[in-house]
Structure 1
Amino acid sequence: MAQDYVSAIWKSEEWSDQHAAAGDIAARLGVATSTVSGNLKKLVADGLVEHERYGAVTLTADGRAAAVQMVRRHRLLESYLVERLGYGWDEVHDEAEHLEHAASETFIDRIDEELGFPERDPHGDLIPRRDGRVPASDAVNLADLAVGAGGTVARISDEDPALLRYLGAHGIVLDTRVTVRERVEVAGVLVLGRDGSGDAEGRDASTELGVLAARSIWVRPALAPGDADCG
C-alpha cells in the first residue's frame, strides 16, 4: 500500500507546480478520498509523508526515495513490455502495475541494461536512474501554446488508454512535430498541424483535439529563428 501511495503522490507533482491533495491521490489509485485520508495517517507515522489536515500532501526524503524507485520499476517494465514483448502503448500501464511489486531489483536492473538504460518510457515519462536521479525535461503543456507555436511531442499521459489509441490513430505519438494552427475557444478545441504527414499536394495533415485532451500532451518547444545561433 505504501509504495502505491508514495508513487501516486510523486506522479501527481511530476508535471505540476501544485502539491498533491488527497483527491488527486484518490483519483490515481481509484479509491475513495476517505480511504486516502485514513491511509495518509499511517504514512505520516511511518515518516514517508507530511500532511496537514485538509492541506497538501508532501513526500519526506524517505518517501521520495521510495517513490522514485517504484516509478523506475513501473516505467522500465512498461518499456520492456513494448520494446521486447510487442505490447501496445495503450496496454502496458495496468500490466506494469501488476508486475512492479513482484519484480526483484536484480530483474529491474537487467531490464534497464537490456534496453540500453532508456531515459523515457513508451509515453515519454522520464525514467529515474538507479541512484534516484531523474532526467530533466524542458517540455511544456500543449494546451498552453499560442496559435502558431509548436514543438516535438515529448510526453503523453498514459492515464487514458482510449486517448492513446485516438492519438496513435491520428499520428500524434512521441517525437511528432506539431503546430497549433487554431484555437476555437467557444468549442474548447485546438486544431493541430502535423509536420511530415501531408497529402499528395504537400499540405500537412491537421487534427482537432479538445483542450482537455491537449492537457495530456507535453512538447519540447521549437526554437525560434535565430535561437540556434545564440550563445
Structure 2
Amino acid sequence: MVRRHRILETYLTSKLGYDWDSVHQEAERLEHAVSDGLIERMAMALGNPRHDPHGAPIPTPAGYIEPEELVALSQVAEGKVAELRRVSDKDPELLRYLASLGLKPGVSIEVGVRQPFRGPLAVRVGGPTPRELVLGHDLAAALFCEIVTKEAG
C-alpha cells in the first residue's frame, strides 16, 4: 500500500498539477481503487521515481526501501549545510507554510545560530533567491535532511 500511495501522490502532483498539500487525502482514497497494473504504468510514466513529493522513499515493486541517513534539521550543528530531503505529509497547513518559506525537498539549508533550550534556529535557505529564516525548534524537528558538508563556506 505504501508504494501505491506514494506513486499516486507523485502522479497527482507531477502529471495532474495537484499541490503537495492536497495529495495525501486524494491518494488515500485512490490507493484502494486502482490496480497494480495502473500503479506500475503510472510509475513508468513518471520515470520510476525514488521519492514522493514530500521526499518519502517509494518502495520498489518488491517492497524494498533503500536506507537513508537523515537527521532532523533541529539536530544539524551550526555552520553545517544540509539538503532538505523529507517532510511529513500529514498536515496540509504545515505543507502550505513550508512551501511559502521555500522549504521543499531538494533545497539547501545552511544552519546558522541555534538558541539554547529548544530555542529558534537561524538558517539560510538556498535556491534561486536565497533567504534568511528563523525556524522554531518544533518546525526544525519536522524537517529531515542529509548533511552535505561539514562546514558552510
TM-score by length of 2: 0.91
Aligned to 1:188: 119
Aligned to 2:16: 85
Kindly report the root-mean-square deviation, in angstroms, between the aligned alpha carbons of the 2 structures: 1.6
Identify unmatched segments of 5+ residues in structure 2: none
Preserved contact between residue 143 and residue 215 of structure 1 (Cα < 8 Å): yes
More strand as a share of residues: 2
1:196 to 1:121, Cα distance in 2 relative to 1, 3 A: closer
Aligned to 2:96: 165
Could you report, residue by residue, the CA deviation over 1:63-108 in whole angstroms, capped at 9, with x for unpaired residues? xxxxxxx100000000000001100000100110011111111111
Q: Distance in 1 between matches of 2:83 and 2:62?
A: 29
Preserved contact between residue 76 and residue 121 of structure 1 (Cα < 8 Å): yes
Deviation larger for 207-216 or 113-122: 207-216
The counterpart of 1:129, out of the listed 43, 54, 60, is 60
Aligned: 1:72 with 2:23: no
What is the aligned-residue identity percentage?
Answer: 40
1:134 to 1:186, Cα distance in 2 relative to 1, 3 A: closer
Larger radius of gyration: 1
Aligned to 2:141: 215
Q: Distance in 2 between matches of 1:188 and 1:175?
A: 25
Shift of 1:171: 1.1
TM-score by length of 1: 0.62
Preserved contact between residue 81 and residue 149 of structure 2 (Cα < 8 Å): no
Deviation larger for 210-219 or 95-104: 210-219
Which has the higher relative contact order, 1 or 2, with Cα contacts under 8 A spaced 6 or more apart? Answer: 2
Q: Distance in 1 between matches of 2:139 and 2:91?
A: 10
Aligned to 1:155: 86
Aligned to 1:224: 150
Identify unmatched segments of 5+ residues in structure 1: 1-69, 199-203, 226-231
Q: Return the letter of the residue paired with 1:171.
A: G
Shift of 1:187: 6.4
Provide the aligned length of Structure 1 versus Structure 2.
151
Preserved contact between residue 190 and residue 210 of structure 1 (Cα < 8 Å): yes
